[in-house]
A and B are shown apart, each in its own frame.
Chain A
Amino acid sequence: MILVWLILIPFLGGLLCWQAERWGDQAPRWIALGTMLFVLVISVVVWLTDDVSLPVAGGGQWMLEWRAPWIPRFGIEIHLAMDGLSLILVALTGFLGALAVLCSWHEIAHRVGFFHLNLLFILGGVVGVFLALDLFLFFLFWEMMLVPMYFLIALWGHSGSAGQTRIRAATRFFIYTQASGLLMLVSIVALVFVHLSNTGELSFSYDTLRGTDIPDALAPWLMLGFFVAFAVKLPVVPFHGWLPDAHAQAPTAGSVDLAGILLKTAAYGILRFALPLFPEESQAFAPVAMTLGLVGVIYGAVLACGQQDIKRLIAYTSISHMGFVLIALYSGSELAIQGAIVLMVAHALSSAGLFILSGQLYERIHTRDMRMMGGLWGRIPVLPGFTVCFVAASLGMPATANFVGEFMILFGTFPGAPVVVVIASAGLVLAAIYSLLLMQRVHFGSEYRPGPLAGPDVREYGMLLVLLVLTLVVGLYPQPLLDTTAAVAAPVSQLFTDSADLAARAGEVN
């Protein structure tokens, strides 16, 4: 039942925020903050009380499970389950959700209640994505979080020029994700009907469909349907068109959610659904996926170097980092997959930090254009120091969580795909370049405009400090995180070795 509440709490909180607007602007903010902290506390309590590092044996994969029939006509259930990976990501959602509320405390001044309704609906949808095990339910949450995100960008976004661009960015975001999502729905339905014709059982359950024997001609297409949906959201390079615009136009809270959590739903989807449902096809597809990841690493980094808009720059670095995650997920090595999970968490923290910083800069100097910054080091206290720290995290400096993640990814992938690792390492060099460019243009150089600016208040200081501490803690002592997710990474890499064995044996027989 606790799983149901994890999903329901943000939705109920959102409705409450909407109605609370009549008691003043502060009420929705406090309610939203309380709601997200509640989600965070619940997941931390679950983490502390349940033993997550239990070995996977038979049906004991899930720490918590809840199911109830929903649409029996198609064998659709409300089936929620939690393992270490979902737990980490739900906790992350709660944490970043609270940060998103905090960082828009002063930024959002009008229609506060409706804003928080949308914000909390996004977070509720994301929690649903991380917990849903029924494929229909998963798709439902996957699509559902788009609508509030659309409103968030379209209504509270920064109107770049002429006021039309944020709606354009929001529309593009929506169409990209929704259309690719429909492809996934087609794949899901096709998978279900293949299973129906094999066994006569109509079911959308993850456990039931996992062993489906799909005809060889159909299987790669179904796998692609899933992959494209996740690739758009991750984003993988040919499908990344929506991301920079969406980030650039979104309010700070939207950017934090997008980079911190929404992109992670895609990686989660690959890990939870695309790989286990189609192990052999994924194995065959791995070289392509890794190449795409590689392209993403380099392309994102190179384009980040050339950006003038600080939020676009951070958006392109996200593409680069998610390229690493993609490489790791398809490498099939347990170490690399664990590295990918660490990098997901690390990237959520560091990119949230950078977006919050750029939001705070915007509140002070009312621009995101780096040509109109410069020399801020002497003008603002404290913030430049934080920027250095998060930039260092973003470029993968040792002692930060990002370093652990990237190191594990490269180390784990090397035995299987040395060439990929060698080229991807070049991405690290580029990461250093764009990070230093960011520092140089914003905080050093000649002052664009003289005069001191206000330093961070307690709220801003606190948000950044907590993010920084978490980055360092995960960077210095990642073991608890690795223990929690070990039970998830092992079976996925097992899938790869199994199907490799199968393929080898088939080769011998032939």
Chain B
Amino acid sequence: MLTLANLIALLPLIVVGTTAVVIMLGVAWQRNHGLTAVLSAAGLVLALICVPVAATALSSPPLMIMDDLAVMGSVLVLLCALVTVALSHHYLTGYIGPREEFYLLLMCAVTGALGLVASNHLATLFISLELLSMPLYGMLAYSFRAERSLEAGIKYLILSAAATAFLLFGMALIYARTGRLDLASLAGLATSFDVWTLAGAVLMLVGLGFKLSIIPFHLWTPDVYQGGPAPATIFLATVSKLAVFVLLLRLVMVAPVFDSNWLRTLVTVLALLTMLGGNLLALFQSNLKRLLGYSSIAHFGYLMVAIVVGGTLAVETVGVYLITYLVTTLAAFGVVTQLSSPFRGEDAAGLHHYRGLFWRRPWLAAVMTVSFLSLAGIPLTAGFIGKFYVLALGVSESRWWLVGGIVAGSAIGLFYYLRVMVTLYLPEPGMRRRDATNDWGSRIGGLTLLVVAVLILVLGVYPTPMIDWVAGLSTLPR
């Protein structure tokens, strides 16, 4: 039975879900793009305010848990969604078809993400994951008149469905062995495992690995990143990955089956493959969105170190690294969105669009430079703090292979990050390229972008508040 305390714990989820319903009704009654955007933002802010309230709820609702990890995940999900909404508005003003449904899809996906970070049961896990993925198909194929966008949506749909099948099969195997679906009872499993439990765990890992685009399950990433409209790509790169990763961390922390030596070795190999492969594949990309896609693969490779190691410091590392990754990715994609706003067919993502950006849009180029420095993990940016954490984690547990992989991956990564960065400063070619509108800096999306960029620098120079916040929330999941 749901009690009042349960409902309070679910408050952020309820608020976001209600907002989605309200938007739907609003669209049915009268279309208004600006109002819809404001409504979604208001819903997200309200949900954000509800998170501390939810965290103090006395009891968790059945199948869900509102622990520290879930609080951290919810806050990050809501903040990223807020930035996405801010950036979407300007982008969609140029879109010819209906614009309001994008926000509807977005809010549904956010609901799924919120459920995912708090799920404590394989059933809620599955439902939330689908609730997160389904709207994403629509969002990626939103500008369906563009061939690439449609391709992205369908590609993601098919591969995501395959991943879901793996995930379900894995769950079924585990259920067949244990007869239970809640994570708490998985935690109670004996520490010696038979082949079936292990197979189930591996299949679940594969399913989640698809969503996180861990190599060798990464094949969809570049095409989908390239094809989807910029705001949808932002959402995919931030909220979706973040929620799935938090869930994966929870699984690994709670269930000892994910902690067996054999599986650890497997994850280590996957992590090494991912960080090196992602960076290598990104080397010669000439489309910025593809390049960022590969770069995000590499970054999740670094993050996998935390999955291998485990422990309190690992939770803290995940928190800090996710925050630094999120602000960085938001800034990088934000610039792409600004340059492609308002919507005019395919996004301005070719590297040639960015040649000489500094000499016509110095502030946008500065934001881009800061975000790429952060992606490369150069000191004084947030990315460095994240990289420092991952290295410290690897070193503290003497995982020298992984540490070596991070060093090698970063060195390779520099090559393409620098390539993009220097392009921004090269002399501008004569012909007129696509450009941001002149008033980008005074629009809400542009202002948000500047705030995010400043945040990258602030977190890099003075990370103590962030570290304190994350460390406070880094108790192990119960």
Contact = CB atoms under 8 A, between A and B. Distances in A.
A175 B464 contact: no
Interface size class for chain A? 20 to 34
A175 B391 contact: no
B395 A186 contact: yes
A295 to B, nearest CB: 25
Nearest to A221: B400
A171 interface: yes
Which of A70, A182, A183 has the most B CB atoms < 10 Å from its CB? A182
A145 B145 CA distance: 47
A179 B391 CA distance: 13
A193 B467 CA distance: 18
A183 B391 contact: no
Contacts of A141: 379
Contacts, number: 77
Contacts of B464: 70-73
A432 interface: no
A144 B414 contact: no
Given A155-B422, A189-B392, A182 B411 contact: yes
B265 interface: no
Interface string A350-388: 000000000000000000000000000000000000000
A150 B407 contact: no
B419 interface: yes
Contacts of B388: 185, 189
Contact of A139 (B379, B403, B419): B379
A144 B395 contact: no
Given A139-B379, A140-B380, A178-B410, A150 B467 contact: no
Contact of A71 (B411, B422, B467): B467
B396 interface: yes
A172 B392 CA distance: 27
Interface string A179-219: 10011011001100100000000000000000000000000
Contacts of A71: 463-464, 467
A414 interface: no
Nearest to B320: A73
Contacts of B140: none
A73 B407 contact: no
B266 to A, nearest CB: 24
Contacts of A151: 422, 425
Contacts of A155: 422, 425-426
A143 B379 contact: yes
A155 B418 CA distance: 12
Contact of A186 (B373, B379, B391, B415): B391
A174 interface: yes
Given A144-B380, A154-B422, A174-B414, A183 B468 contact: no
B378 interface: yes
B79 interface: no
B187 interface: no
A171 B395 contact: no
B176 to A, nearest CB: 43
A138 B329 CA distance: 28
Contacts of A175: 411, 414-415, 418
Interface string B439-469: 0000000000000000000000011100110
Interface in B343-401: 373, 378-380, 384, 388, 391-392, 395-396
B362 to A, nearest CB: 9
B395 A190 contact: yes
Given A140-B379, A147-B378, A189 B373 contact: no
Interface of A: 70-74, 139-141, 143-144, 146-147, 150-151, 154-155, 167, 170-171, 174-175, 178-179, 182-183, 185-186, 189-190, 193
19 contacts: A71-B463, A72-B464, A143-B379, A143-B384, A146-B378, A147-B373, A147-B378, A154-B425, A170-B422, A171-B415, A171-B419, A175-B411, A178-B378, A179-B408, A182-B411, A183-B407, A186-B391, A189-B396, A193-B396
Interface of B: 373, 378-380, 384, 388, 391-392, 395-396, 403, 406-408, 410-411, 414-415, 418-419, 422, 425-426, 462-464, 467-468, 471
